[in-house]
A and B are shown apart, each in its own frame.
Chain A
Amino acid sequence: MSDEKKDSLQHINIKVVAPDQSEVFFKIKRTTPLSKLMNAYCERQGKQRSSVRFMFDGARVEDHATPEQLEMEDGDAIDVMVEQVGGFWAVN
């Protein structure tokens, strides 16, 4: 097996989509915990980890989860959501 092929089996490309539709691509091993990806994204975007939510197919991405566990495929997207708060709607 060539190195390239081995690499594509072990690694996976994942894009992280922000609310403004901007995308950041990550290449990550299938067995690496996604916390690494999430921390890297936050660092890069200058965001507090606790102020954003990472969702994959509508489910929260847990720190210890790996792409393998989540059955991610190459090119899959993780959505980043910003904290929502609400209490009142002044005028309809």
Chain B
Amino acid sequence: MSRFRSGAGRAEGRRSAGEAPETPAPDAKRQRTASGWSSWFTTPWRWSSPGTADAAAGGAGGAAAFASGQDQLDTAADCEYAGADGEQPAAEQCDDTEFETLRPRTPAAAALPNAAALLAASPAGDGSSGKEAEASRPGRPEATEAPGAGAGASGDAVAAETQAHASTEGVVVPAGSAEVQAAGAGDAIVAGEPRTLGHWPARTVAASSGRIMPPALPRSPSPAAGPAAGPAALPLAWRRPRRSIASSGATSPSRGSQRSISTTSSSVAFSQLLRPNAAGIVSKKVPRVGLTFMMKERARNSEYAASRLQSSYVPLSADAQSRLSGKAKQISELKAYMATIDRLKQEHSRQARQTLARSVVRDTPQKASLALPRLSTTAPRASERDGKPDWLVSLREKVEKYGGIEHRDIDTPLYNQLLAKESEAEAHIDQLRLEDSPPIAKLPPDAQKLVESVMSGDRVVVEAFGVKILSKDIRTLKDTTWLNDEVINFYGEMCMKRAKQAQDKFPRIHVFNTFFYEQLRTRGYSSVRRWTKKVDLFEKDLVIVPVHLGAHWTCAVINLKQKRFEYYDSLHGSNPTCQELLREYLKSESLDKKKTPIDLSDWEDYTPKNIPAQQNSYDCGVFTCMFMEHSARQAAFRFSQRDMPMLRTRIAYEIIKAELL
């Protein structure tokens, strides 16, 4: 319990049960209604201190649900899993219901984003919401088929099933029920009183298709508007690219109505089972979707994630606050927040796998089929069964099921939301960093005119580095045009020139032209062996390789100082092939030019995803130029999509002048 109190420090939220929700404080910042969240989102980078914002105005449902007694909160604290260490904040508790709704919460709600508290409070605390759920329940579709709609506790298959039983058979689960497999039972223990299952308000998260439902904004007190509205209303608008974790290259799971790995809510028995570091290797997979889709998703998700950011905020100590200021402070807060998300993620995947493992071990047919939605539960083929005793067949099945657990994707709504939150926080940090940095140097007053006049002409604009740049090449820098190789190569030459002219200021670099990678890829080392007859790569700090991928520009850098192969893609793609090619190239180059093999075993591939991102279908060339130029002076990438129009003019101007500004 102490964790809740200290971590959140919002004792005022602990009111006696049944007390009416607090009226919003007069402070404007505290008057964020549900719609206020969205307006906050539209200016996401003005991140007002969450310390004030988390005190969302009390709405009807959420606030009342949290007007629970302190003893219930204390009980909820018992649910904290055993593996948690003392420093972890309140948000540590891992449960789907943390994300249940976006409805305004009292400070207590913000302080206790974990489900146990939510659930403990919900049935007993507020009569109206309880009644509402009660009233609406009979009309609910069979929960097994719509886990998102029916499952209150965890949105998973097990919970859905249990609840279906509860609603149809009227099962009452008493406190202390030994069975904690299902979420509802676990929470009954938490609540410390017998109650029927299925009290939960309508779920706003649908597990069935990996879609995230829009959180039910302040729930209407009308019973009719309850669960029916939730899942049906806006499923498509909230679809997000499915992310999954996978180790050892496991492929995405097949879709199915119940393919989520289930997790229980924090239950007492489970807390005994949890072990740290049991989650296995977790790696994100990039969704295979187009840019437009990604951009739309990003916009949609940010509102939700941004609001979550605030409600899970844990304030810094006064001392730390005084040391930090402004954006730097926000960045550090966000970093702490991301660390929390990371722990939540690990905890969640651990729980999910635990649940799965337990259900396999028990292997009652019903639960196994529910908890193992993606496993083949079909009987072994006749050929497999031939000549084998039944016990061997069933044992083998169990082993197969269990053995795959560590490698299975976690694909619960909660996990996807955690991932979304994480990437959102990351983007937020980037943006703050950017805003914190000095603006890019302004263009000379006549630059715009000069560039325009050059673009409209038809002549040789400049002749340098053995290249004639024509007006038509400069025109590729116009508005939404794709950049061509001449511009990128000329820009690379200018970077080299700058580095040569001021060797004390800039790293020693070599910039290959845009055909290098293509040659290396298609014709191998021998085709580029002579490209370095006049240059010794091994005395450079950086070797910059602009990469052309059919219709896309990216930038690879061999960082000889930091011993890594860097790859910067404005669409945040990866290109291990490129890094491998460059690795092989460097080995061959060493053998050819230095006559000695080079050991690159401790050189790492570096593909950061927190770099400025392109948000349209034409600016990657400009981004690539910027990646090159910033890499060439080892500067942080302090530019973003919004700078691109200006940077186009700037690059054109620099090319015309044949010198970087």
Type the 1/0 row for A15-57, where 1 means its CB is closer than 8 Å to any CB of B: 0000000000000000000000000000000000010010101
CA distance A90 to B288 in the complex (A): 10
- Tell me whether B470 is interfacial, beta carbon within 8 Å: yes
Residues of chain A contacted by B619 (CB below 8 angstroms): 87
| Contact, CB under 8 Å: B466 / A87 | no
Type the 1/0 row for B550-576, where 1 means its CB is closer than 8 Å to any CB of A: 111100000000000000000101100
- Tell me whether A83 is interfacial, beta carbon within 8 Å: yes
Residues of chain A contacted by B290 (CB below 8 angstroms): 90-91
| Contact, CB under 8 Å: B288 / A92 | yes
| Option from B513, B515, B618 in Cβ contact (under 8 Å) with A87 | B618
Residues of chain B contacted by A86 (CB below 8 angstroms): 482-483, 548-553, 620-621
What is the size, in residues, of chain A's interface with B at 8 Å between Cβ atoms? 21
CB distance from A18 to the nearest CB of B (A): 12
CA distance A61 to B573 in the complex (A): 34
CA distance A62 to B486 in the complex (A): 14
Type the 1/0 row for A44-79, where 1 means its CB is closer than 8 Å to any CB of B: 000000100101011111100000000000000001
| Contact, CB under 8 Å: A55 / B552 | no
| Option from A59, A79, A81, A85 in Cβ contact (under 8 Å) with B466 | A59
Q: Which residue of A lies closest to B619 (CB)?
A: A87
CB distance from A32 to the nearest CB of B (A): 18
CB distance from A44 to the nearest CB of B (A): 22
| Contact, CB under 8 Å: A58 / B291 | no
Q: Which residue of B lies closest to A81 (CB)?
A: B515
- A57 with B533: in contact, given A86-B483, A87-B620, A88-B620 (CB under 8 Å)? yes
- A53 with B485: in contact, given A58-B531, A86-B549, A88-B291 (CB under 8 Å)? yes
| Option from A50, A84, A88 in Cβ contact (under 8 Å) with B472 | A50
- Tell me whether B519 is interfacial, beta carbon within 8 Å: yes
Residues of chain A contacted by B531 (CB below 8 angstroms): 57-59
| Contact, CB under 8 Å: A58 / B482 | no
- Tell me whether B642 is interfacial, beta carbon within 8 Å: no
| Option from A62, A85, A92 in Cβ contact (under 8 Å) with B573 | A92
Q: Which residues of B (590-610) have their CB < 8 Å from a CB of A?
A: none
Residues of chain B contacted by A84 (CB below 8 angstroms): 484-485, 514-515, 518, 548
| Contact, CB under 8 Å: A83 / B551 | no
Q: Which residue of B lies closest to A64 (CB)?
A: B466
CB distance from B222 to the nearest CB of A (A): 44
- A92 with B286: in contact, given A53-B485, A87-B483 (CB under 8 Å)? yes
| Contact, CB under 8 Å: A58 / B470 | no
| Option from B512, B620, B621 in Cβ contact (under 8 Å) with A58 | B512
| Contact, CB under 8 Å: A87 / B516 | no
| Contact, CB under 8 Å: A87 / B548 | no
| Contact, CB under 8 Å: B618 / A91 | no
Q: Which residue of A lies closest to B484 (CB)?
A: A85
Told that A58-B528, A84-B515, A91-B290 touch, could you supply 14 new A-B pairs with CB distance under 8 A?
A: A53-B485, A57-B531, A57-B533, A58-B530, A59-B466, A60-B465, A84-B484, A86-B549, A86-B550, A88-B620, A89-B549, A89-B551, A91-B288, A91-B289
Residues of chain B contacted by A79 (CB below 8 angstroms): 515, 519
- Tell me whether B204 is interfacial, beta carbon within 8 Å: no
Residues of chain A contacted by B467 (CB below 8 angstroms): 60
Instruction: Provide 24 A-B residue pairs closer than 8 Å at the C-beta atoms, listed in order of the A residue.
Output: A53-B485, A57-B531, A58-B528, A58-B532, A60-B467, A60-B513, A61-B466, A79-B515, A81-B518, A84-B484, A84-B485, A84-B515, A84-B548, A86-B620, A87-B481, A87-B617, A87-B618, A88-B482, A88-B551, A88-B617, A89-B549, A92-B286, A92-B288, A92-B573
**Centre residue among A57, A79, A84 by max chain B CB count within 10 A:** A84
| Contact, CB under 8 Å: A83 / B484 | yes
| Contact, CB under 8 Å: B550 / A89 | yes
| Contact, CB under 8 Å: A89 / B552 | yes
Q: Which residue of A lies closest to B616 (CB)?
A: A88
Residues of chain B contacted by A83 (CB below 8 angstroms): 484-486
| Contact, CB under 8 Å: A62 / B466 | yes
| Contact, CB under 8 Å: B288 / A87 | no
Q: Which residues of B (337-362) have their CB < 8 Å from a CB of A?
A: none
- Tell me whether B114 is interfacial, beta carbon within 8 Å: no
Residues of chain A contacted by B553 (CB below 8 angstroms): 86-87
CB distance from A53 to the nearest CB of B (A): 7
Residues of chain A contacted by B573 (CB below 8 angstroms): 89, 92
CB distance from B225 to the nearest CB of A (A): 40
CB distance from B641 to the nearest CB of A (A): 13
Q: Which residue of B lies closest to A88 (CB)?
A: B617
Q: Which residue of A lies closest to B472 (CB)?
A: A50
Q: Which residue of B lies closest to A71 (CB)?
A: B533
CB distance from A68 to the nearest CB of B (A): 16
Residues of chain A contacted by B465 (CB below 8 angstroms): 60
Q: Which residue of B lies closest to A58 (CB)?
A: B531
Residues of chain B contacted by A61 (CB below 8 angstroms): 466
Residues of chain A contacted by B518 (CB below 8 angstroms): 81, 84
CA distance A87 to B614 in the complex (A): 10
CB distance from A57 to the nearest CB of B (A): 4
Type the 1/0 row for B79-97, where 1 means its CB is closer than 8 Å to any CB of A: 0000000000000000000
Q: Which residues of B (343-389) have their CB < 8 Å from a CB of A?
A: none
CB distance from A84 to the nearest CB of B (A): 4
CB distance from A14 to the nearest CB of B (A): 14
CA distance A85 to B549 in the complex (A): 9
